[in-house]
Structure 1
């Protein structure tokens, strides 16, 4: 899959985007109310109004949107005749912007048709601007929606949704609270390490994953602890982007398959669910990917080069566990009030995510999935 987006990157990179707006008569800005109030976003809106005849703003995208949320947004659009869709926000906003760039095209499939598997044939021009560093949505062909009736999430996937332009602007992420920076950063880490070890990994996705992990390992804790450190924030934006690009060329596996039910039924934020699962899932797959785990370990700033591959693979899992704790993210479901009586549902729902389960680098049975989930209930382990 080719990613043909033009990437604009760096401090104040949005100060003049008039060259992107030439010939555009109608713009649709997709965001949420919190992001809309950021001064840099207000400046972007002012710039749009200066160069584009008509600017409509959708600021009602909720976290973890459902298909009903998107249907309501589409129904409320003042016009579906737009020349450019601009998404500014976290992964949920960017996913909705990608969908709207398709749904705003005359004769496009309906949202229900897309959910049923029909593929879009075209989209309007699009610019995606992430304000969190985690989902990598700006580089993926995916839009993830919650399906409340089934208590899970589904992905609408098509390369048509990849944007024309991406802007990685570190000052837009400095207002992100520490707990959001932590959980979204772990989401990016999951994308990178899962794609790197997936059955469908390949030299292209591996290259993206290795570059992204090197940036993430170097900067994730600095970005969380020093929110105005623009170098660290830009590193994390690039790590997130590379994670999305790795997804576009490979795919995630066990962490994401097992986290979908946690988001769909219990409405845990996606990054938090991934943080809870990261160590246990990586410990389970480690024996099948020792060499790749050793490669990833070697990217750590304080890697011990004297270790053999087996020791490095164990040390990487230990690093994941310690990182989640240092970032003050939960590492069990018990801490969130979810008990082991939910195990039958969780196991069945995770195994249903076959598009990701097939990417796991080792055989996975229902008992294996149950055993991994069970590690998230420490007081109930044998």
Structure 2
């Protein structure tokens, strides 16, 4: 299977996608109730109708979906096999769309339970992913993340088969994001980019993606939050998010994401918010092991002081991360989320168990050290 996505990008780039619809009869459109009524989405549905497609619409994907949510969606489908899956929404919607592109491909031996058990599918139906937030980069990763309530954690279903045929980066769809969502998802994208850049399995491909993405993000994140109708800033953030996902596909995140997982799994803290709280303290811990890369990233900040020595730049980047989260008015303490010191042992155990990410940290890290980081932001 070809796993290289074709990217459609720019203002009004969804106005004519008839060439994608040739031969597609059964189409499944996956979204949520906040997105489905937006004019560009309604225009897309009109194109599908005009092309003679039979369109099934799922607009009930919740934030941070769990396996029961996906199972419930599967039960509502009148057509278990489709020709095209279109996902329009944030990372949760796109993750569910990716799973449905496999589960609606006609192979009855592949089920949600088998995917959760680690089965690697061989096929999916044609897919088009259209992000409306700029953070998860789900459109460029082979991952779909589901909450598992019974275990109070999240699990990643990972297979390159989920990479879509087509991705559309459409800035006018991102203008509907509230400022707080734009801020937290932007920090999520930053974590993807920088964690992959400093991961022990970073490589020239992931480094290139991360450097390009960070340059776009540092130049555009605060503008995108403050000026929601600024289409160039929104497009830059969509690209930064895409590059963050591509970095994940070629490398992997580490400490911030490992420590944010139990915050989301048990306490239902939004992923970007959890990452924002953890970004500066985790990177202060990691900094001594990756001074050169910290300095490289610092030099991408538009108003960076490039006269600093490398060590000074690495400290300045951590300070920048902390100041950025404050400027974006995101939480910086666990107490702001009603997390108490009594919760730290559970959080520390949950984080250290995410070994697929912990093993990417560029220095050894123990459960006690993780607990100390949590305590530093209590």
User: Same fold, TM exceeding 0.5?
Assistant: yes
Q: RMSD over aligned Cα, in angstroms?
A: 1.0
Task: Classify the secondary structure of the residue corresponding to 2:224.
Answer: helix
Residue number in structure 2 paired with 1:58 = 58
Once residues 31 and 242 of structure 2 are traced to their aligned partners in structure 1, the CA distance between those partners, rounded to angstroms, is 19
Residue number in structure 2 paired with 1:296 = 297
Q: Is the 8 A contact 1:294 1:309 kept in 2?
A: yes
Once residues 6 and 224 of structure 1 are traced to their aligned partners in structure 2, the CA distance between those partners, rounded to angstroms, is 28
Residue number in structure 2 paired with 1:176 = 177
Residue number in structure 2 paired with 1:10 = 10
Residue number in structure 2 paired with 1:219 = 220
Change (3 A) 1:194 1:3: farther
1:154 to 2:155 alignment? yes
Q: Trace 1:288-367 onto structure 2 (pairs within 5 A).
A: 288-367=289-368
Once residues 277 and 2 of structure 1 are traced to their aligned partners in structure 2, the CA distance between those partners, rounded to angstroms, is 37
Q: Is the 8 A contact 1:64 1:92 kept in 2?
A: yes
Residue number in structure 1 paired with 2:93 = 93
Q: Trace 1:61-80 onto structure 2 (pairs within 5 A).
A: 61-80=61-80
Q: Trace 1:114-263 onto structure 2 (pairs within 5 A).
A: 114-263=115-264
Change (3 A) 1:348 1:161: same
- Kindly state the Cα deviation for residue 52 of structure 1 after the two structures are TM-superposed: 3.5
TM-score by length of 2: 0.99
- Kindly state the Cα deviation for residue 2 of structure 1 after the two structures are TM-superposed: 8.5
Once residues 327 and 278 of structure 1 are traced to their aligned partners in structure 2, the CA distance between those partners, rounded to angstroms, is 13
Gaps of 5+ in 1: 378-382
TM-score by length of 1: 0.98
- Kindly state the Cα deviation for residue 339 of structure 1 after the two structures are TM-superposed: 0.3
Once residues 161 and 52 of structure 2 are traced to their aligned partners in structure 1, the CA distance between those partners, rounded to angstroms, is 24
Task: Classify the secondary structure of the residue corresponding to 1:321.
Answer: helix
Aligned residues: 377
Residue number in structure 1 paired with 2:39 = 39
Once residues 199 and 74 of structure 1 are traced to their aligned partners in structure 2, the CA distance between those partners, rounded to angstroms, is 38
Residue number in structure 2 paired with 1:372 = 373
Q: Is the 8 A contact 2:3 2:161 kept in 1?
A: no
Once residues 96 and 355 of structure 1 are traced to their aligned partners in structure 2, the CA distance between those partners, rounded to angstroms, is 22
Q: Once superposed, which parts of structure 1, at least 4 consecutive aligned residues long, lie more than 6 Å away?
A: none
Once residues 33 and 51 of structure 1 are traced to their aligned partners in structure 2, the CA distance between those partners, rounded to angstroms, is 24
Q: Is the 8 A contact 2:200 2:361 kept in 1?
A: yes
- Kindly state the Cα deviation for residue 115 of structure 1 after the two structures are TM-superposed: 0.5
